[in-house]
Chains A and B, each alone.
Chain A
């Protein structure tokens, strides 16, 4: 897949699974320490790594209100960063926990739930295409389509997959965010992947079959958040 190979830019752009990316990880660990001392450039590094992940997670939870909630989350992080203890992985877990609490508060205040947004068949066909030519470029559209697809999973599965694959948390940290046991989170994420794979198996590979639905099979939606 399209991973940044240059370690000097890796931390700036928020690589997938950065926890396993040693140079980026070391840079982010240092940035966390410096940001806690008030260094704005270090804070910027943390923001660039974390914000896209938070925003995608929040999009699945709250739809269009994600950006406002992400802003609130960052104000909270800014306020309490000096009191935070832990490494960079713990920081991501902490940020995800704040974001999740804010999202749930938001959903309680606005009793409406985000509508399940159908994923256009064309976007999915791009994601599901087997040939390499269509596969290399990951742009904002394919990211959006992927997040929307994951958001059609039942809430516990969607959250487990997003916290693991997008926030880059391990099962233990994801479980702490969700207030569940790691085993339950592993199971939910595993089920989520199987459901996604089933969807993708049924997705048309070519645009000529664009009417084939994607979201109808089980009418899955992230609407029972609590």
Chain B
């Protein structure tokens, strides 16, 4: 039996239980057990995000521009790149350095016994313990130094400054002779950390805090896994310069690997022009994957941020299915803003690309004003194509949603044949209702275009507006 009769927990006992103290004499009763289980030490799955959180913390504390109080922005593009690379390099050490060092020195061979002993939980905490990470940059930095001196000792390297100086190290790292030295097995861990040997000079320059990058622009060669870790934590300016320098396949890979929250953050951080540049660089499949991964509000934010041309290019790049998925995921206001931003030809292209069900869902989602604006923006042929593709029920809904002026404009824009098709296959009773909305002059114009078979279905009150002759 429980020692806590539900009516007998005193305020004092409750306070003790809530404070984590065992109630004297209570023993292992169920309520204490539930509270203890709820407050038990962290289980490993709960700490799965640790590496990422610490990486974001380090990134934040490494990049001065992310501190809101400091007004000074880093201006030079190289400096921006350098900042981004410093970040990437540090994280490279954090993320992959352990593996690289373990391979070269054997110094890190799994969790140490001191970390495990005395731990009450059955599983060890995730990797990246407090003691191991600070050692890594030193090891890789030393490798960089020995690489530089080895290069400088080659006559072909033509290093004039002392290798003990920053200038000497810079010259050595920038030397074409570096290629043959770095391919030696001693530097395998360095190459592995920098991803490829050509990225080693920049990587070393960042690790050693050199003022100049020997070969700026090789940031893109750092492993995608590192970019994925650092991107969500970055400031717009640095983020933009990284993303726009990546080749399309890497960009698609990096963005495609981000979880929805990180992806949202990255894309909604970018200014409109950069966002447009990034999204229009992506191939159709990558673009579709990324847009359909975004949560609805972020998707809406991203698409409504894009300038008209970028938006048009993004939407017309998508295949029909993905386009429908993207547009139907948008809330009504976001959808309205997206469609009314598009120029006539792009709008026509987008709406005629949509599968019929997607088209129906998109048009019936729009509010009257936006719907009117969308349909009256379409060129004649696009309008005809859109309305004749719509099944009867949503077509009727669209036409009855339109305000009178928009409806008039739509119906008088349609050539005779599509007009007859659009109005001739509506559900029973819809046609008189729709035509009854029109002002007399417009009604008269529309009636003059209709074939006799349709006119025969109309009540006399409407037919009285048929122009004579």
Contact = CB atoms under 8 A, between A and B. Distances in A.
B6 A55 contact: no
A203 B32 CA distance: 15
B39 A168 contact: yes
B17 A166 contact: no
Interface of A: 1-6, 8-9, 12-17, 20, 35, 38, 40-41, 43-45, 47-49, 51-53, 55-56, 67-68, 70-72, 74-75, 78-79, 82, 109, 127-130, 132, 135, 138-140, 142-143, 145-147, 149-150, 161-162, 164-166, 168, 170, 186, 189-190, 193-198, 200-201, 203
Interface in B11-60: 11, 14-15, 17-22, 28-50, 52-54, 56-58, 60
B190 to A, nearest CB: 23
Contact of B43 (A1, A17, A40, A52): A52
B340 interface: no
A133 to B, nearest CB: 11
Nearest to A73: B53
Contacts of A162: 38
B138 interface: no
A2 B121 CA distance: 9
Contacts of B118: 4, 6, 8-9
B109 interface: no
Contacts of B33: 1, 127-128, 135
B41 A197 contact: no
Contact of B42 (A40, A51, A72, A190): A51
Contacts of B261: 68, 71-72
A20 B54 CA distance: 27
A135 to B, nearest CB: 5
Contacts of A132: 28
11 contacts: A14-B41, A15-B41, A17-B20, A17-B21, A47-B47, A51-B46, A51-B53, A165-B39, A168-B39, A190-B9, A201-B6
A39 to B, nearest CB: 9
Given A1-B36, A48-B125, A196-B34, A79 B50 contact: no
B72 interface: no
Nearest to A67: B49
Contacts of B148: none
A149 B297 contact: no
B433 interface: no
A20 B49 CA distance: 27
B309 interface: no
Majority secondary structure, A binding face? helix
Interface string B186-221: 000000000000000000000000000000000000
A4 B120 contact: yes
B290 to A, nearest CB: 17
B119 A194 contact: no
Given A8-B118, A13-B120, A139 B43 contact: yes
Instruction: In the A-B complex, list the 3 residue pairs whose CB atoms are closest, starting with the nearest.
Output: A17-B20, A16-B39, A52-B42
B366 to A, nearest CB: 21
A3 B4 CA distance: 22
A215 B260 CA distance: 33
B130 interface: yes
B289 interface: no
A149 B37 CA distance: 11
Contacts of A2: 36, 40, 120
Given A16-B20, A164-B18, A48 B47 contact: yes
A40 B52 CA distance: 12
Contacts of B7: 194
A91 to B, nearest CB: 14
B31 A197 contact: yes
Given A43-B54, A150-B34, A51 B18 contact: no
Nearest to B119: A9
B373 interface: no
Contact of B53 (A13, A78, A203): A78
B297 A143 contact: no
Interface in B398-426: none
Given A4-B119, A13-B41, A79-B68, 14 more contacts: A9-B120, A12-B119, A14-B41, A20-B19, A40-B54, A44-B54, A74-B49, A75-B265, A129-B30, A145-B37, A166-B39, A193-B18, A193-B31, A200-B30
Given A52-B47, A135-B28, A44 B130 contact: yes
A56 B38 contact: yes
Contact of B14 (A35, A44, A166, A189): A189
A13 B119 contact: yes
Given A16-B36, A127-B33, A146-B34, A165 B18 contact: yes
Interface string B117-129: 0111110010010
Contacts of B268: none
B19 to A, nearest CB: 6
B14 to A, nearest CB: 4
B35 A165 contact: yes
Contacts of B60: 78-79
Contacts of B18: 161, 164-165, 189, 193
A96 B11 CA distance: 25
A35 B121 CA distance: 25
Most buried by A among B18, B28, B43, B48: B18
Given A4-B119, A16-B20, A127 B34 contact: yes
B5 A197 contact: yes
Most buried by A among B15, B21, B33, B47: B33
Given A52-B41, A135-B33, A197 B49 contact: no
A142 to B, nearest CB: 4
Contacts of A145: 37
B2 interface: yes
Contacts of B120: 2-6, 9, 13
Nearest to B90: A40
Most buried by A among B31, B60, B67, B232: B31
A29 B6 CA distance: 37
B352 to A, nearest CB: 32
A173 B31 CA distance: 23
B314 to A, nearest CB: 24
Contacts of A150: 34, 38
Most buried by B among A8, A132, A165, A197: A197
